[in-house]
A and B are shown apart, each in its own frame.
Chain A
Amino acid sequence: MTLVALALTVLASAAATPPPPATPEPGIGVPRGPQLSGPQLDARTDDIGALLRCPVCQGLSVADSPATMARNMKAEIRDKLAAGYDQEQILASFERSYGEFVRLEPPMRGVNWLVWIGPLAGLLAGGAVIARALKRSPPQSADAPGVASATSPAFDLPSRDTLPADARLAAAVRRVRTLAYGWPDGISPKERS
């Protein structure tokens, strides 16, 4: 029973796997990896498809795109994996046709290093700037000058019971009080008592 199942699996995988090419593929040489089959082949096809740009789409990977071209490219990836080509060889084969553009992740070489290092360098530089700024102005306690808190004098607004010293302003405040609070003559109940 197990033998029959094993034989069937072997037969199925033999049918699904095209024979490895007799001559090395131009530009990428002879297969360097294991010849994949079954679920592993499906998984790796998707992995590599996610690293390739679908040339006829707008910013979609080969794995994500429903376009015929993407489907054809997926079939090509599958065949190459089944023949034993590794990820880098497969990416290189598409790059030979489409240029570096076809890779969704720029390869780590030449000026591309900037893309990989740039964000990290920016983050470090930004962190350094913040660290220096923090060092320069040590944390101040709540009662220290220059720190505006809700209890600090800067926020200590006059209560609604006090009137400004200026007579004209005081008259204006009274009028507003009358309108806002309905106090007769704008005199607060506290002032009255």
Chain B
Amino acid sequence: MSTAATSSVAAERAPRVNRKVIVAGLAIAFPLLAVLVANLGRDPHSVRSPLVGRPAPAFSLVPVGGGTPVALDALRGKTVVINFWATWCVPCFEEHAALTEAARSLPGVQFLGIVYEDEEARTREFLRQRGSSYQSLMDPEGRTAIAYGIFGVPETFFIDGDGRIVEKYVGPLDRGTILALAARAKGGAR
């Protein structure tokens, strides 16, 4: 008798509570779903570099095989392309030829390689075998790689004549992309 009374009260109350629960559930679930949907197509590994548009971090590094250090500050007024690479990085092989060729065809643009976590001897051997039209610099403690926010290699920075980073490119470059991005960096200097 009393059990029946309790269950009838519960039955009366049930729909109202359920609606509240549904509204609350949607209020929580909808924003989460929206974030999920908005980011579905995004590469979880790609992080926009905060350096783009900012002055390029300064460095002064010794070239592979020794010699006088190359300082970025000394290149002010020139468009600079800085390619972080390593001999152990397979995509770097592919783009090495494209970079070498682009550096030959763009005498007004200063190309520089910065060696990322690699040994000088192996790097020198790589460059001897494959040839290069621009200097590669050693970054022994990885300070410059850290300053440039490197996640892996290859990563390439296009710097305008004011020493500002115009573009950061992650992954292997082809000739067309190099020319286009170098032209954009050159345009920024005017």
Contact = CB atoms under 8 A, between A and B. Distances in A.
B152 interface: yes
B55 interface: yes
B18 interface: no
Interface residues of A, number: 18
B3 interface: yes
SS class of chain B's interface: helix, strand, loop or mixed?
Answer: loop
B55 A146 contact: no
Contacts of B162: none
Chain B, interface size: which category?
20 to 34
Nearest to A136: B13
A55 B151 CA distance: 6
A75 B50 contact: no
Contacts of A146: 2-3, 6
A75 to B, nearest CB: 6
SS class of chain A's interface: helix, strand, loop or mixed?
Answer: helix
Contacts, number: 54
Contacts of B58: 26
Given A56-B152, A69-B117, A145-B2, A101 B47 contact: yes
A83 B59 CA distance: 19
A96 B56 CA distance: 11
Interface of A: 26, 55-56, 68-69, 72-73, 75-76, 94-99, 101, 145-146
Given A55-B151, A98-B50, 18 more contacts: A26-B57, A26-B58, A55-B149, A69-B117, A72-B142, A75-B141, A76-B146, A94-B146, A96-B50, A97-B50, A97-B51, A97-B148, A98-B47, A145-B2, A145-B3, A145-B5, A146-B2, A146-B6
